[in-house]
Amino acid sequence: MCENSDLNKYPKFSVLMSLYFKEKPKYLRECFDSLLNQTVKADEWVIVKDGPLTDELESVLKEYETKYPNLIKYVEFEKNQGLGLALRAGVPACSYELIARMDTDDICVHKRFETQLKEFIFNPNLDICGSHIKEFDEGIDKLHSERRVPLVNKDIIQYQKRRSAYNHVTVMFKKSSVLKSGNYEDAPLMEDDMLWTRMIIAGCNGKNIDETLVYVRTGLDMISRRGGWSYFKKYRQSRKKVYQLGLATYWDYIYTLLIQFVVSTLPLKIRKKIFEKILRN
C-alpha cells in the first residue's frame, strides 16, 4: 500500500462503468470491492445506468453511495442503449483527463491503477494503456485461460488489423484522446475494436503492460454471445469498417471473416474450447 504522502504524486482519474439490469449484485459487489482495494484509488466512479435496474442492484449502489459519499457520479438512460452508446455518454461525464475502464462483473488486481498511472507519468505522450487478462467462470481461484496482447505501439497497430489489440476492461486512456478520435460508437459487441481503430488512425500512442491487471469473468454466457449468424453479421460489419477506414488490407478483412465464420458456427462447447485453448493463448 502506498503511503499517504506518496499519493499526491499520482494524477486524479475516473473509473468508467456501464451497468444494466442483467448484472448480478454479487458480481457488482466484487467489482466495487476490487476498486476500493487499490493501492491508488480512483477519485470518482462514473456509472452509466443503461436503462432501469433491479431493486437489488439499486440497493448495492445505495449502500456504496452511503459508505463513500461523493465518489459515485451517475449518467442515466430511461431505456437500454447498449454498451457503445452508454460509454459514449459516460466519457464526457468523467471529471478527469485519465479514465480507467472497468466492467461491473470483473475484478482488478490491487495494484492495477498504480501500475498504469506510473506509465502515464513516465510517458506524457501516452494516450492509452492496457494489459493482459486472465479469465475465470465463478472465482479467481479457478482461472482457465489468458488473453495476451502486443506490448508496444508498432505491434499494437499491426495486431489491430486483424484482432482487438487491447483488452477493453484493462485500458486507461486520456479523455481528450478518445474524444479527438470520435469517442465510442454504437457497434454491438465491437465497441472497443472500433475505438482502438480510430485512435490508431488519429495517431494516438498506446502500449500494453506485460502483466495481468484484471481478472475477467467469462463462461458459457459470454461465449454464446460470440457465436451464431447474428454475431457474425455484427462482426463482419465492424471489420469491414476497419478495412474501409484504411487500417486493414482487404486480405486482413477476408482472413478475419473466414476465421470468425468458422468459430461462430461451431457448437457452443467446442467454441468455448477454441476460445480458451487457441484464441486466448
The residues near 237 (Cβ < 8 Å, ≥ 6 apart) are: 187, 190
Q: For residues 2-14, give the mean pLDDT.
A: 72
**119 and 50 in a common domain:** yes
- Which pLDDT value is given to residue 224? 58
**134 and 105 in a common domain:** yes
**111 and 250 in a common domain:** no
- Which pLDDT value is given to residue 3? 47
Last residue of a domain, one of 218, 250, 269: 218
- Which pLDDT value is given to residue 218? 82
**Residues 68-110 pLDDT 10s:** 999 999 999 999 999 999 999 999 999 999 999 999 999 999 9
Q: For residue 128, give the C-alpha cell.
A: 492509452
Longest dimension (CA), the chain: 55
Q: Is the pLDDT of residue 12 over 50?
A: yes
Are the C-beta atoms of residues 57 and 23 closer than 8 Å to each other? yes
Q: Whole-model pTM above 0.85?
A: yes
* Tally of CA atoms within 13 A in the half-sphere of 108 that contains its CB: 33
Last residue of a domain, one of 218, 244, 266: 218
**Residues 30-72 pLDDT 10s:** 999 999 999 999 999 999 999 999 999 999 999 999 999 999 9
Last residue of a domain, one of 202, 218, 234: 218
Q: At what angle do helices 191-201 and 153-160 cross, to 10 degrees?
A: 130
The CATH number covering residue 97 comes to: 3.90.550.10
Are the C-beta atoms of residues 199 and 128 closer than 8 Å to each other? yes
- Which pLDDT value is given to residue 106? 95
**214 and 188 in a common domain:** yes
Q: Is the pLDDT of residue 1 over 60?
A: no
* Residues spanned by the domain of 208: 4-218
CA 117 to CA 84: how far, in whole Å? Answer: 25
Q: Is the pLDDT of residue 246 over 50?
A: yes
**20 and 113 in a common domain:** yes
Neighbours of 141 (CB within 10 A): 6
- H-helix or E-strand spanning residue 23: none
**129 and 243 in a common domain:** no
Q: For residues 212-220, give the mean pLDDT.
A: 85
- Which pLDDT value is given to residue 221? 61
**Residues 118-153 pLDDT 10s:** 999 999 999 999 999 999 887 787 787 899 999 999
Neighbours of 281 (CB within 10 A): 10
**158 and 72 in a common domain:** yes
CA 44 to CA 197: how far, in whole Å? Answer: 28
Are the C-beta atoms of residues 137 and 145 closer than 8 Å to each other? no
**10 and 56 in a common domain:** yes
Q: For residues 257-261, give the mean pLDDT.
A: 85
Share of the chain above pLDDT 90, in %: 70
**207 and 173 in a common domain:** yes
CA 15 to chain centre: 11
Tell me the range of 37-46, 247-256, 272-281 where mean pLDDT is highest.
37-46
